[in-house]
Amino acid sequence: MGLMEKIFALLEHGPGEHWGVHPDDRKRPAADAPLRVLPLPERLHVPLQQHIGAAARPIVLVGQKVLKGQLLAEAQGATSANIHASTSGTITAIGEITAPHPSGLPCAAITITADGEDRWIDSEPAVDPFSLAPKDTAARIAAAGVVGLGGATFPSALKLGLGLRAKIHTLILNGGECEPYLSCDDRLMRDFAAEIIDGIRIMLHATGAQKAQIGIEDNKPEAIAAMTAAARKFAEISVCPVAARYPMGSEKHLFSALTGQEVPADGRTTDLGVLVHNVGTAWAVHEALRHNRPLVERIVTLNGGAIAFPGNIRVPVGALVEDVLAYASLKEVPARLVMGGPMMGSLLPHTRVPVVKGSSGILALTAAEAAAYDPGPCIRCSSCVRACPVGLLPLEMSAHIAASDLNGAVDLGLKDCIACGCCSFVCPSHIPLVHYFNHAKGELAAQGRTQLRNDAAKRLAAARAERIERDTREKAEAAARRKAERMAQKAAEKAAAEAAAAQEAAGTAAESSEVTT
Amino acid sequence: MTGFVATAPLASPHAHSGGRVTWVMGKVMLALAPATLYGFWLYGWPAIHLWVITILFSLLGEAFCVRLMGRRAIPVLMDGSAALTGWLLALSLPPWAPWWLGAVGGLFATVIAKQVFGGLGQNLFNPAMVARVALLISFPVPMTQMVAALPLGSVGAPDFVQGLRITLAGMPNYDAVASASLLGHAKTELSRGIDLVQTFASANAPALSFIGARTGSLGETSALLIAAGGIALIFLRIITWHIPVAMLLGIALPALIGHAIDPARYLGAGTHLLSGAAMLGAFFIATDYVTSPNTRLGQLVFAFGCGFLTWVIRTYGGYPEGVAFAVLLMNALTPAIDRLIKPRIYGRDRKGKPMELPEEKA
């Protein structure tokens, strides 16, 4: 940054950090309650798509008996991930279940009726991960179906592989957990610090990075203490408390807070030699490599004013939200059910929705917490401009989108929006700004697909026209050639005839001359 | 209990800071209250009547337009913006002005300057200032007839009924109470060829008083209370320091330079800052969300322009006071400022180009 930029920043924000918001974190008492384990539900509905890529392909049949950890469905492509059985039992259906998405649309899922034994599949004894080549370590992580547990659910092995190729020097572990209400990472760091540190060491081995920094918001002193104690033996791993500020858990923002650098708009942290992973992912890596256990369960925060006993629960993947809520007891019918945090989580259409690998929390919010107001007119107070951690103009962007001028919104930086929700959170007029941006992004993606289709159709049409033209041209050329050939033949015949006639004439003349001489 | 079903898909976030437009407007009114109450005490019942009438007619104009559009008026009035507009307008009128001045101004502010543009958030110009300027140009005499302060309870101060008579029927013997504001007096004397040193050396020159025992409209009497209210707004996080500081600097810097060069021609910086609507403008008028730029850098440019133009108009213009004109002129520039000055996007430079990757270490 140049000097002018520093002066501008000082005039605009004063000294120090300025982005984001400080929501009431409401993490306690849920964060302090001891970790519980969900009693095994009768049935588990394991979706085939719990990652950003294509859905996995089932390799089991209805009626087949499976053991916990057995492969149910295979990854399809690089950004897909394996899906394993979360308990032992019988496959009773390969059908559909409502996806954890506000649309309430169905997704493909395998239903396991539990036998109650919860018996793990026999696996070969785990080998020392440090004796493996980095590539083989990543392959094992991929086989275990580990995806990023911070919410993006990007396949972890792929990310580690990218890191290896990009020659990264530092691994940042995201223990920010900046979303209010959520404490699953906090609980994990308090209870499984040694396992996380071990997972981090394996990840360092898999990427070739020299050091790891664990970024934890300073509102989690117990987690910081536990992780610091566990990391003490390893000089290459350090715990870095960061200010509690939303969205500190955003990859680029945590990176900036720890390194003081900024990720260029068209780049990734790996371009700057840094790879960011969630602490939960490190735990999953440890489980996969040390115990040969694929990712079949996770810690889920149960919180919100409507929950009688808030806290963190170990939940098998595929358990229904209704099972989890029944265990934690509801005090009242919630006004809103959310999967994930209140800032970026998605509204649940109902409770018959499965917990997936990326589910960090289930929030049952009361009417007072959900704070639903009717939107009013924008008063241009620019609170959203000050809150935006990316430096956008939410009020201007939403005005363009409301007027269907999507390109105007793109010019203002719509594509840089991370949908963190800071703008909507502070808006005194309760304008659903993120709703506008999500709508515009979806619309633009649809337009992009249409454009691709149109381009393809145009290419095909052009190719067809060219082919027809070529055919006609070739036909005409062939006809012309044939005509020329005919003409030539005719000419030749004519010439031959003439020659013959001449010869004949000459012959006759000769004959006559012979006669005359 | 688990029979929960969501009614409609809603986008995140599912939490809110709790801020509301009504509370924002309410806090601004609260910050205006001390200066207003002090003004009431100084100018007595006529000022109170005028204040009530101006706000009433502002609300009436707003309600009329909203009803015309077929919407319910009460929820719109509850946002507090029309009342605040009326309040700010009342503070900028001569305290003993006739009732129709407040009524016409109030209606003009909400109907012509606000609702015609599309209501709250859509108006390009500050409604209170549009109304004030319209009144000043249309009715220059009642808009510049100032009275000397006659505090409530003092001898000769009008009681409730007398005050009502003054507001409704006009001042009976204006000359008895007439007085000139400091800026007006200075302008008049300068135009008569008497320089400022002489003007203020004379015994009957208007006093410069920080606490407000002086002639003027409600909003220009107590610079101290206005500034205190403004600083309270900064602490309440309704406004930031950028606009007030830049606007006051915009007035003070040229005044300092001018006064240093020729004290007989140019008023001093202190006089400028404590006179007229400088404080009210800096803390309450130029800081209007709707008509000021989005970014703080833009706000600095905007407010400095407001201040500088105020000084130019006061010094060289035909009117003794220039805050309203200056703010309106800069309001017109706000869209241009917003277009030119935008926040820097993460990972990009000010022009919006992605940052360069650092050089690879060999």
Cβ atoms of A342 and A69 within 8 Å: the answer is: no
Q: Do A371 and B15 touch (CB under 8 A)?
A: yes
A22 interface with B at CB cutoff 8 Å = no
Secondary structure of A68-110 as H, E, C letters: ECCEEEECCCCCCCCEECCCCEEEEEEEEEECCCCCCCEEEEE
SS3 B354: strand
A294-309 confidence digits (pLDDT tens): 999 999 999 999 999 9
Run of H or E including A515: helix A433-516
A167 interface with B at CB cutoff 8 Å = no
Greater model confidence, B171 or A434:
A434
Within 8 A of A344 by CB-CB distance, chain B residues are 12-13
Q: Do A342 and B3 touch (CB under 8 A)?
A: no
Distance CA A291, CA A311 (A): 27
A415 interface with B at CB cutoff 8 Å = no
Pick from B14, B17, B352: which is nearest to A370 by CB? B14
A134-149 confidence digits (pLDDT tens): 888 888 999 999 998 8
Distance CA A330, CA B88 (A): 50
A98-130 confidence digits (pLDDT tens): 888 888 889 999 999 999 889 999 887 778 888
User: What distance in Å separates residue A247's CA from the closest CA in chain B?
Assistant: 12
pLDDT reading at A209 higher than 80: yes
Q: How many CB pairs under 8 A join A and B?
A: 202
SS3 B44: coil
Average pLDDT score over chain B: 86
State percent of chain A over pLDDT 70: 97
B318-352 confidence digits (pLDDT tens): 888 889 999 999 999 999 999 999 999 999 988 88
Q: Do B11 and A378 touch (CB under 8 A)?
A: no
- Among all chains, which residue has been given the structure tokens 């785990």? A126
Q: Which residue in chain A is spatially nearest to B80 when comparing CA positions?
A: A379
Looking at the DSSP bridge assignments, the partners of residue A350 are: B5
pLDDT reading at B200 higher than 90: no
In the sheet that holds A57-58, the strands lie side by side as: A57-58, A71-74, A83-84
pLDDT reading at B86 higher than 80: yes
Greater model confidence, A492 or B158:
A492
Which whole number is the average pLDDT over A352-376? 89
pLDDT band, very low/low/confident/very high, at A418 (cuts 50, 70, 90): very high
Looking at the DSSP bridge assignments, the partners of residue A91 are: A112
Distance CA A133, CA A503 (A): 93
Altogether, the residues listed in chain A come to a count of 517
A451-471 confidence digits (pLDDT tens): 999 999 999 999 999 999 999
pLDDT at residue A283 in the model:
95
Q: Do A13 and B1 touch (CB under 8 A)?
A: no
A510 interface with B at CB cutoff 8 Å = no
Q: Do A392 and B352 touch (CB under 8 A)?
A: no
Within 8 A of B4 by CB-CB distance, chain A residues are 333-334, 337, 350-351, 364
State percent of chain B over pLDDT 70: 87
Best mutation target among A24, A269, A373, A379 (most B Cβ atoms within 10 Å) is: A379
pLDDT band, very low/low/confident/very high, at B202 (cuts 50, 70, 90): low
Q: How far apart are the first and last CA of chain A?
A: 117
Question: B-contacting residues of A 249-308, CB under 8 Å?
Answer: 252, 256, 261-267, 271-272
Run of H or E including B147: strand B146-147
Range in A86-95, B24-33, B158-167 the model is least confident about: B158-167
Nearest to A287 by CA among A276, A299, A274, A275: A299
Run of H or E including A65: strand A65-66
Distance CA B343, CA A391 (A): 5
Angle ∠(A82,A86,A92) on CA atoms, nearest 5 = 95
* Residue A331 DSSP one-character state: S
Q: Which residue in chain A is spatially nearest to B24 when comparing CA positions?
A: A428
pLDDT at residue A517 in the model:
45
Distance CA A146, CA A155 (A): 6
User: What distance in Å separates residue A439's CA from the closest CA in chain B?
Assistant: 10
Greater model confidence, A502 or B4:
A502
pLDDT reading at B87 higher than 70: yes
A234-291 confidence digits (pLDDT tens): 999 999 999 999 999 999 999 999 998 899 988 888 889 999 999 999 999 999 999 9
pLDDT reading at A425 higher than 70: yes
Pick from B13, B290, B296: which is nearest to A380 by CB? B290
Within 8 A of A370 by CB-CB distance, chain B residues are 14-15
B234-274 confidence digits (pLDDT tens): 999 999 999 999 999 999 999 999 999 988 888 888 888 88
Q: For chain A, percent helix, then strand, then coil, each to nearest 5?
A: 45, 20, 40
pLDDT at residue A172 in the model:
95
pLDDT reading at A198 higher than 70: yes
Distance CA A378, CA A155 (A): 41
Distance CA B131, CA B89 (A): 7
User: What distance in Å separates residue A238's CA from the closest CA in chain B?
Assistant: 24
A391 interface with B at CB cutoff 8 Å = yes
pTM above 0.90, yes or no: no
Q: Do B3 and A333 touch (CB under 8 A)?
A: yes
ipTM confidence score: 0.87
pLDDT reading at A319 higher than 50: yes
Q: Which long-range contacts (CB under 8 A, 24 or more apart) does A458-461 make?
A: none
A380 interface with B at CB cutoff 8 Å = yes
Q: Do B12 and A419 touch (CB under 8 A)?
A: yes
pLDDT reading at B362 higher than 50: no
Which whole number is the average pLDDT over A151-177? 87
Question: Mean pLDDT: which of A233-237, A368-372, A502-506, B220-224 is highest?
Answer: A233-237
Helix B21-43 and helix B81-91, axial crossing angle in degrees, nearest 10: 30
